[in-house]
Amino acid sequence: MVLARDRFACQRCGSASELEVDHLVPVSKGGTWDLTNLWVLCRDCHRRKTYFEDR
């Protein structure tokens, strides 16, 4: 559902390869599993986002 909504593309860079569904606000920081808190990122963008969240 999230992949289709986000048109099978990373919402940061537009890539269509190695896609993952991610939380906009991590569950560990109060985020939910609601569709409004989920988006599609490619693996590289997901790793970068997670790296900066953990700092």
What does the pLDDT read at residue 53? 84
Alpha-carbon 22 to chain mean position = 3
| Token pair recorded at residue 11 | 């919402």
Residue 41 main-chain phi, psi, to 5 deg: -130, 150
Instruction: Please tell me the pTM assigned to this model.
Output: 0.90
What does the pLDDT read at residue 20? 98
What does the pLDDT read at residue 24? 96
Which stretches of the chain score pLDDT less than 50? none
Read off the DSSP letter of residue 3: H
Read off the DSSP letter of residue 25: S
